[in-house]
Amino acid sequence: MTGWEKEAWINTILFHARLLKNKIVIEDDNLEEGLTTNLIQAGIPPEDIITGLSLE
């Protein structure tokens, strides 16, 4: 969410991802359809995508 809430400016990132050893590490994903879904549809193999859930 980005915008004004009462008198406070709210700024939320859409996603936070980084590259690590030829993998895409998704730190935060606030996209409605999900960054992982978008990456797979773009041709990125699922085994090259690491989510926060994968690290637990």
Closest CA relative to residue 15, chosen from 41, 45, 51: 51
**Domain boundary assignment for the chain:** 14-55
pTM for this entry: 0.72
Residue 33, CA distances (Å) to 11, 15, 20, 30, 54 in order: 20, 12, 23, 9, 18
Tens of pLDDT, residue by residue over 5-45, are 888 888 888 899 999 999 999 999 989 899 999 999 999 99
Residue 11 DSSP SS3: strand
